[in-house]
Amino acid sequence: MKFLLHPSILKFSLLGLVIAFSGCRKQVYLEQDTSSVGLVGSRTNVNGPVYQKSNLELLILGKNRWEVIDLLGEPNGKSLNLKNEHVWDYRKSVIHDETGEIFDWTLITVTFTVGKCSSIELKYQSPPSVLVDPGF
Interatomic CA distance for residues 45 and 12, integer angstroms: 44
Fold category of 38-123 in CATH: Beta-lactamase Inhibitory Protein; Chain:B, domain 1 (3.30.1450)
Q: Taking the CB of residue 50, how many other CB atoms lie within 10 A of it?
A: 21
* Per-residue pLDDT tens digits for 52-92: 988 999 999 999 999 999 999 999 999 999 999 999 999 99
* Per-residue pLDDT tens digits for 84-102: 999 999 999 999 989 999 9
pTM of the model: 0.62
Share of residues in the chain with pLDDT > 70 (%): 61
pLDDT band at 34, cuts 50/70/90? very low
Please report, for the chain, the start and end positions of each structural domain, with discontinuous segments joined by +: 1-32, 38-123
Interatomic CA distance for residues 108 and 77, integer angstroms: 11
